[in-house]
Structures are given as structure tokens and as C-alpha cells.
């Protein structure tokens, strides 16, 4: 199972299919938050109203990303040594779970009661561990990128505002367990013991008992599931100043987006997992099913000399994407088989983002705060609602680097907390790193539960 994250990363690298995926903020936004500022083009197009602000300040301009943003990230669930735990417990399905049986007396009723006492504890422990892994254990890898030269921002007095063109892609992949409670049927044990031939295993429904080797093997619908989602986005936005006042200006903007979303799924019952490499092969060979739709973002921004206040509604129309379920041939009928077989629907729910920034008089120092007013799910149903706080030095020099430091926390879902750090070099190259404050033990070593890295190169003139 240690190779599982390698496969996830490979999926993220090869499944090229949203300029701002909910699980991975793009560019310098990783540190600054989804707050508009003029330091990075990725920050300046976060709010659809923001791109016109520079036109008001600096006149006609063009900005574009040579490599606007490339980002990668990884996240673990909160089960210590999860991959070792899965490997160990999977042996109950492949090699059998050792149990300690008393010496049989020859009395079928007495021996049946002794067998039940001996089996209930280790199988109950196995049930508990697998349920915990299914509830809290997972491995997730993700990445995002803007296509070369994207985004492009064109501000012009002739247009009365600014146009933004963008083309981007993101991919996320997740591996997790789905637990089917191991049910034991003791109703026929007495009869089987009375006719036992000394060789055949005892059938206990989803468990078989080998009296000679004192092992039980489990065979039910407990499974490992892997999914990968790729999101391609084409966006066209327009912003302009709506009102001017001596205390500042009000800007508004909208952004129309075309989405193409792909989903690949694979599931393998632990009882069928005789060769781990086959599981990885299934992931690599999984077919992406695609659906498409349109989204609409709206934004407003009040800009004063020393502060900004803004709000953005992402995916106002909540676009939906539907994907076919999995083939459940070989699965026992029941809730898990039904869950896998039904169509999977992913809805990009509408989200309200609030932002605020406070600038020094020379606009080189800035404090940023951002808050998602509501949680929204990623393609796998994991909820995200970011709250961010950051401080930054914004440089006008080609030689003096800009820097930023911040904190971001997910108020929903896994409630992950990150410390973030970023720098801008030569007014063009951005690099940002986020490291989770939450920890988990992997292979006996305590490591952060998550990490993200973004890089980008951009120009403006």
C-alpha cells in the first residue's frame, strides 16, 4: 500500500483534463488567500471585479502568465500508519486471521460455544479497525495548472474595463476504504461439527474457520476505492468601475466558465486482492467518463487608498455533472454494491467568498483576510471552507524580493490547518509553500498530514 500515493501522484500528473479548485488555491493565493492584490496575476483575477482596478490606477495594460501557476499537493487521513494497518488487516482476507481455539471436547454444542467465544473478539477487533480506516483513513493527491500564457488580462479605456481570458486544469485523486461489517452466522455450527470430516473448513457465512490451522478467513464487500477527477476550465471575464467616490471606487465583474469534468473510479474487494500490483494496474487503466456544463461567477470590490473590501459568488448556478456507477459483478447484494452501482453526481455548489485587505500608505505592506462564508464539496464530497490571514511585503523592485507569510484553516471537512510562506522574485517568479499543522504517523515517522507547493512565472506591461 505504500505505493498507493505514487499511483495517485502519477494520476495527478497524467490525467490532464478550475483556476481555483476548492482543495488547492492557485499561485500566491496559497499564502495570501483569495484576496485581490496587484502582486500576482493569480490574486488579481480571484475576484472577477479585480482586473479593472489596475486600469484605474495605471491605465491600459496587459498581464499574462508565462507559466501562470503549477501546483501540487498531498493529504493524508488521520489514521496513524494507515498503509501498514491496511496491509496487516488485509491478511485476514488473503492468508487468514489467527485465532486461539480450545481443545475440542467432541460435544458439538459445547465446542460451538467455545468457537464463538474464540472468534468474536478478533473478528470484532478487525471490524473496528476497518471501520476506523474507512471513516478516517485516506490518501489524496492533487494538482492544478494554468495553460502557458494564461491567464491573460487586457485593460483598455476603449473596453471601458478589463477582459480576462483563462484556461486551466486541475486533478485530484483519492484512495480510501469502504467498510462492510463482517457478519458471522453461527446457526449451523453444531450441525457442521457433528458431520465434520476433519479437513473441511467450517462455514460461518462471511467467515470460514479452519480448525486445523486455527485461522479464519473473511470474504465480504469491504473494499479499497480509488477515484480521480480532472477538471478543465475555459473562462472569459469582464470587469469595470461601477462608481467613483472621493473615498474610493466600486468595481464589479462577472466571469463565464465552461467546464469539462472527468471522473475515473476503481474498487477492489479485499477478498479479491491477491496481487496488489493488479490494484495499481486497475487505477492506471481506469477510463475517464466526462460531462460538461457552464458556471458563472460574480464579484464586487470596494477599493480605497489604504484598504479593499470584496465579495465573490463562485458558481452561482451550481453546475452539476453526472457519471456512471461501477460494475458490481462479483459483489454480494447489499448497500455497498448499491452505492457503487448508482450514478455519481458532483455538484459545484455556489460559494460566497469575502475578502479584506489593509495597505500601508506606500502600498508595499499589506494585511489580508479571507473567509469562505459556506462550505462546498470537492469532486469526492470532501467539504472545504477556507479562512485565511496573511501579511505581505509587495515590492516594485526587480531585485528586492517580495515576501508573504500566512495561515489558512479549513473550517469544514477534515478541519486541516496550514502555515504558509511565499516569495516573489524579480517581480515575476512566485513560489509558495503550505505545510499542515496537523500530523499523522506514516511508517513510524510523524509527518504533516498535508503539504502544497505552487510556482508561477508572469509578466505585466
Q: Distance of CA 239 to CAs 43, 46, 163, 259, 355, Å?
A: 15, 12, 7, 21, 17
| Residue 192 falls inside a structural domain | yes
Domain match, 308 and 379 both: yes
- Which of 219, 243, 278 corresponds to the end of one domain? 219
Domain count, the chain: 2
Mean per-residue pLDDT for 359-386? 92
pLDDT confidence of residue 6: 45
Domain match, 350 and 328 both: yes
Q: Lowest-confidence range among 3-7, 310-314, 385-389?
A: 3-7
User: What are the residue ranges of helices labelled H in 137-252?
Assistant: 189-194
Domain match, 368 and 407 both: yes
* CA nearest neighbour of 334 among 206, 227, 187, 208: 206
Domain match, 67 and 12 both: yes
11 vs 78: which has the higher pLDDT = 78
pLDDT confidence of residue 155: 84
pLDDT at position 107 over 70: yes
pLDDT confidence of residue 344: 92
Pairing of strands 223-245, 138-146: unpaired
| Residue 177 falls inside a structural domain | no
| Residue 175 falls inside a structural domain | no
Domain match, 44 and 132 both: no
Domain match, 143 and 115 both: no
pLDDT confidence of residue 19: 44
Mean per-residue pLDDT for 443-451? 84
Domain match, 192 and 297 both: no
DSSP E strand stretches across 44-126 = 61-76, 97-98
**What integer best gives the mean pLDDT of the chain?**
84
pLDDT at position 181 over 70: yes
pLDDT at position 256 over 80: yes
Q: Please name the residues in contact with 245: beta carbons below 8 A apart, sequence gap of 6 or more.
A: none
pLDDT at position 274 over 70: no
CATH of residue 436's domain is: 2.40.160
Question: pLDDT tens digits, residue range 143-178?
Answer: 888 888 878 888 888 888 889 988 888 888 888 888
**Alpha-carbon distance 65 to 314, whole Å?**
22
pLDDT at position 233 over 80: yes
Q: Of all residues in the chain, what percent carry a pLDDT higher than 70?
A: 87
| Residue 87 falls inside a structural domain | yes
pLDDT confidence of residue 331: 84
Mean per-residue pLDDT for 221-229? 86
pLDDT at position 291 over 90: yes
> What residue numbers bound the domain in which 241 lies?
4-76+137-170+224-460
Domain match, 58 and 95 both: no
Q: Of all residues in the chain, what percent carry a pLDDT higher than 90?
A: 34
Domain match, 54 and 202 both: no
Question: pLDDT tens digits, residue range 17-35?
Answer: 334 678 888 888 899 888 8
| Residue 18 falls inside a structural domain | yes
Give the three-state DSSP class for 277: helix
pLDDT confidence of residue 279: 55
Domain match, 314 and 395 both: yes
Model confidence at 99, pLDDT cuts 50, 70, 90, reads: confident
| Residue 178 falls inside a structural domain | no
| Residue 176 falls inside a structural domain | no
Q: Lowest-confidence range among 14-28, 291-305, 392-406?
A: 14-28
pLDDT at position 372 over 70: yes
| Residue 419 falls inside a structural domain | yes
Domain match, 385 and 400 both: yes
Domain match, 307 and 350 both: yes
Amino acid at each position: 500500500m505504500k505505493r498507493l500515493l505514487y499511483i495517485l501522484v502519477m494520476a495527478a500528473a497524467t490525467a490532464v483534463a478550475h483556476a481555483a479548485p476548492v482543495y488547492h488555491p492557485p499561485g500566491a493565493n496559497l499564502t495570501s488567500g483569495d484576496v485581490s492584490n496587484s502582486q500576482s496575476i493569480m490574486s488579481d483575477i480571484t475576484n472577477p471585479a479585480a482586473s479593472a482596478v489596475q486600469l484605474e490606477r495605471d491605465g491600459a495594460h496587459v498581464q499574462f502568465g508565462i507559466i501562470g501557476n503549477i501546483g501540487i499537493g498531498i493529504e493524508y487521513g488521520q489514521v496513524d500508519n494507515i498503509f501498514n494497518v491496511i496491509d496487516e488487516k488485509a491478511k485476514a482476507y488473503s492468508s487468514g486471521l489467527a485465532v486461539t481455539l480450545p481443545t475440542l471436547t467432541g460435544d458439538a454444542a459445547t465446542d460451538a460455544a467455545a468457537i464463538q467465544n474464540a472468534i468474536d473478539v478478533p473478528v470484532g477487533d478487525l471490524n473496528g479497525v476497518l471501520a476506523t480506516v474507512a471513516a478516517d483513513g485516506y490518501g489524496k493527491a492533487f494538482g492544478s495548472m494554468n495553460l502557458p500564457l494564461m491567464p491573460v488580462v487586457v485593460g483598455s479605456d476603449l473596453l471601458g474595463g478589463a477582459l480576462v481570458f483563462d484556461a486551466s486544469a486541475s486533478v485530484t485523486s483519492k484512495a480510501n476504504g469502504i467498510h462492510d461489517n463482517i457478519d458471522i452466522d453461527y446457526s449451523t455450527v453444531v450441525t457442521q461439527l457433528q458431520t465434520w470430516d476433519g479437513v473441511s473448513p467450517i462455514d460461518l457465512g462471511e467467515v470460514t474457520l479452519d480448525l486445523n490451522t486455527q485461522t479464519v478467513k473473511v470474504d465480504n464487500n469491504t473494499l479499497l476505492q480509488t477515484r480521480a477527477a480532472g477538471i478543465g476550465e475555459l473562462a472569459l471575464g469582464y470587469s469595470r468601475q461601477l462608481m467613483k467616490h472621493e473615498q474610493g471606487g466600486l468595481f464589479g465583474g462577472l466571469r463565464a466558465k465552461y467546464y469539462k469534468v472527468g471522473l475515473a473510479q476503481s474498487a477492489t474487494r479485499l477478498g479479491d486482492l491477491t496481487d496488489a500490483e493488479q490494484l495499481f494496474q486497475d487505477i492506471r487503466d481506469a477510463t475517464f467518463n466526462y460531462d460538461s456544463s457552464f458556471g458563472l461567477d460574480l464579484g464586487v470590490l470596494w477599493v480605497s487608498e489604504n484598504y479593499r473590501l470584496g465579495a465573490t459568488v463562485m458558481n452561482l448556478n451550481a453546475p452539476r455533472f453526472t457519471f456512471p456507477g461501477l460494475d458490481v459483478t462479483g459483489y454480494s447484494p447489499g448497500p455497498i454494491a448499491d452505492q457503487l452501482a448508482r450514478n455519481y453526481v458532483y455538484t459545484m455548489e455556489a460559494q460566497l467568498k469575502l475578502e479584506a485587505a489593509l495597505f500601508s500608505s506606500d502600498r508595499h505592506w499589506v494585511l489580508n483576510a479571507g473567509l469562505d462564508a459556506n462550505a462546498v464539496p470537492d469532486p469526492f464530497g470532501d467539504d472545504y471552507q477556507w479562512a485565511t490571514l496573511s501579511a505581505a511585503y509587495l515590492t516594485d523592485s526587480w531585485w528586492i524580493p517580495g515576501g508573504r507569510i500566512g495561515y489558512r484553516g479549513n473550517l469544514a471537512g477534515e478541519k486541516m490547518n496550514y502555515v504558509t510562506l511565499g516569495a516573489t522574485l524579480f517581480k515575476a517568479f512566485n513560489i509558495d509553500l503550505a505545510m499542515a499543522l496537523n500530523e499523522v504517523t506514516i511508517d513510524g515517522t510523524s509527518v504533516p498530514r498535508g503539504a502544497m507547493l505552487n510556482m508561477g512565472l508572469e509578466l505585466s506591461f
